[in-house]
Amino acid sequence: MSTARRVAILGGVRIPFCKNNTAYFDVGNLGMSIKTLGALVEKFGLQGEQLGEVAMGAVLKHSSDWNLSREATLSSGLSPLTPGITMQRACGTGLDTLITVANKIALGQIEAGIGGGSDTTSDVPIAVNKKLRRRLLNLNMAKTFGQRLGAAVKGFSFRELVPEFPGVGEPRTGKSMGAHCEAMAKEWQIPRAEQDRLAFESHQKAAAAYERGFFKDLVVPFRGLERDNILRADTSLEKLATLKPAFDKTSGQGTLTAGNSTNLSDGASAALLASEDWARAHGKEVLAWFVDAQVAAVDFEHGEGLLMAPTIAVAELLRRNNLTLQDFDFYEIHEAFAAQVLCTLKAWESEDYCRNRLGLEAPLGAIDRSKLNVVGSSLAVGHPFAATGARIIATAAKLLQERGSGRVLISICTAGGMGVVAIIER
């Protein structure tokens, strides 16, 4: 096996993220992926280039998208000899694709590759129910008219015609991610006002970043959009305070609202990674280096907070790299919900949690909040599930390029009680 090599982050692009059932309602995952990969190919002059791997993913996808990455690659302008793999780990999908590509580069298996993802909550797969599915399969297997007639009408009920939509709840608990996060907010005593402030700041930071041109080479226009249509530069704490609880609507203690939770959104993103030799040979600037990554999971079925796994993954990642939580210049923590971010930060400061759950002698401690999501994050720009990872990697790499040096901690919580985290540096 080859000695691990350094993995260069050369940059990334995305289309503007948008609220579901708006600009991209009829595009679908393949269309968004093709547009984004094509834009990345154009940005880096990769027309006809054979790369070692294109890893893309989607969480909500039709069965026809089983080979999504390869199909998008064939329409991207890359050499048709470039392979593609389609992956999924809920909200961590995009970061996981980049970890996969980075590991292959580090081991010398490939020289360059692309990772990313897309998701649409506008064009979701709608299925027939189990009884109708069985009826249609029996009808297809029938060989005589009598068998076909029996398969079609025997025991038929109009209830069978009711379609099944993708579930938004955790199969093992029946609760939505928002309901789980609401329970976390109560456990960690996260006030509504703090959640609204984090959401407000996310919008303000993202709007300011657009105004100064930070996203000019990261976001490519698509379908008449030049920026994320979820972004509200004119929102205020007063407006956010008027919104009603979105998940706990009856107890009078609900704190998660549509304003401090991510919107259902559509979009796609992709980032280019390479070996140092490949980058040099192709004349590409290295924005940052992909240092390390870690995944973890929690036992949410038996009481742990569904979205707390990043706290564990970060502790393991810091230990392996001999770093402290304060050894970073930027923190990119995915804002699935404002409460989730605040629970994570509070857990790292908790002596009890760090000792009894993370196995540490002392708390990881507080971070400098001025370094957190400095150009906004998911609450402001949206969260097309599989597209978030590459968005964050490309954003973090550009922040380091602007600064000239430094280190970024990246953290993404996912459905199913998992977390995916990474370190990049320049």
Catalytically active residues, by annotation: 91, 383, 413
Q: How far is CA 38 from CA 42, 46, 255, 266, in A?
A: 6, 9, 41, 18
User: Over the chain, what HEC string results?
Assistant: CCCCCCEEEEEEEECCCEECCCCCCCCHHHHHHHHHHHHHHHHHCCCCCCCCEEEEECCCCCHHHCCHHHHHHHCCCCCCCCCEEEECECECHHHHHHHHHHHHHHCCCCCEEEEEEEECCCCCCCECCHHHHHHHHHHHHCCCHHHHHHHHHCCCCHHHHCCECCCCECCCCCCEHHHHHHHHHHHCCCCHHHHHHHHHHHHHHHHHHHHCCCCCCCECCECCECCCCCCCCCCCHHHHHCCCECCCCCCCCCCCECCCECCCEEEEEEEEEEEHHHHHHCCCCCCEEEEEEEEEECCHHHCCCCCCHHHHHHHHHHHHCCCCCCCCCEEEECCCEHHHHHHHHHHHHCHHHHHHCCCCCCCCCCCCHHHECCCCCHHHHCCCHHHHHHHHHHHHHHHHHHHCCCEEEEEEEECCCEEEEEEEEC
- Return d(Cα 397, Cα 67) in angstroms, integer: 29
Q: Which amino acid is at 399?
A: L
